[in-house]
Chain A
Amino acid sequence: EPEVTQTPSHQVTQMGQEVILRCVPISNHLYFYWYRQILGQKVEFLVSFYNNEISEKSEIFDDQFSVERPDGSNFTLKIRSTKLEDSAMYFCASSLTGATNTEAFFGQGTRLTVV
């Protein structure tokens, strides 16, 4: 069964460093998303991406964040200068369409710890 894969599963980084979280969406999907879940809190929407551009982003997704689909298979989330409060589980998702009745398929997440 096709699945979304994320690497690494765990990432520890020092405050101020750049990190790149990687995702391989399901191959025929067209819409891509990043969500995050701070420990003990809700899963929060960060950004959606379609046709090689951001289609929507939340207020969390500030200038420190960027996304890219560098090679047609990977979908990356970059945090330029990490802060302690960026520590969270980051989930990548993809969907075939952007319609509201289409489910998103999620990866297993990358746990980011900023120290």
Chain B
Amino acid sequence: AQSVTQLDSHVSVSEGTPVLLRCNYSSSYSPSLFWYVQHPNKGLQLLLKYTSAATLVKGINGFEAEFKKSETSFHLTKPSAHMSDAAEYFCVVSAGRDDKIIFGKGTRLHILP
């Protein structure tokens, strides 16, 4: 069985400073990992995904994430936050025979002016 834990329910950063959203996963199989973003009143949009190729994955809007198997982590980062980054972010794991997509609880990112 797989699971995913997002360690922070809320993160606040100032505009122009780095963003770090943490995600740890558990999986018996080689996982695929995704980050989705949900802006208010919008659907879930894929930011980036890891599927056993390069461990450092670049996504849209300047976000990237690094798959670290030894730490079972897939943290999301961005060098410089923008006001438009304020949203809910979900770390997602998909693995194993049942192929279910399992969501983390989400992290709400607040950007301070």
Contacts and interface: CB of A to CB of B under 8 A. Distances in A.
A61 interface: no
Contacts, number: 57
A109 interface: yes
B99 A100 contact: yes
A42 B104 contact: yes
Contacts of B63: none
Interface residues of A, number: 27
Interface in B50-96: 51-52, 90, 94-96
B34 interface: yes
A101 interface: yes
A58 B102 CA distance: 12
Chain B: number of interface residues, binned into ranges = 20 to 34
Contact of B36 (A99, A106, A108): A106
Nearest to A108: B43
B105 A109 contact: no
A91 B100 CA distance: 15
Contact of A103 (B34, B98, B100): B34
Interface string A64-106: 0000000000000000000000000001010000111101111
A42 B32 contact: no
Contact of B103 (A43, A48, A98): A43
A45 B44 contact: no
Contacts of A41: 105
A27 B102 CA distance: 24
B65 to A, nearest CB: 14
Contacts of B98: 56
B41 interface: yes
The 8 tightest CB contacts between A and B, nearest first, are A101-B51, A106-B44, A108-B43, A43-B103, A100-B94, A101-B32, A106-B43, A100-B32
Interface of B: 31-32, 34, 36, 41-46, 49, 51-52, 90, 94-96, 98-106
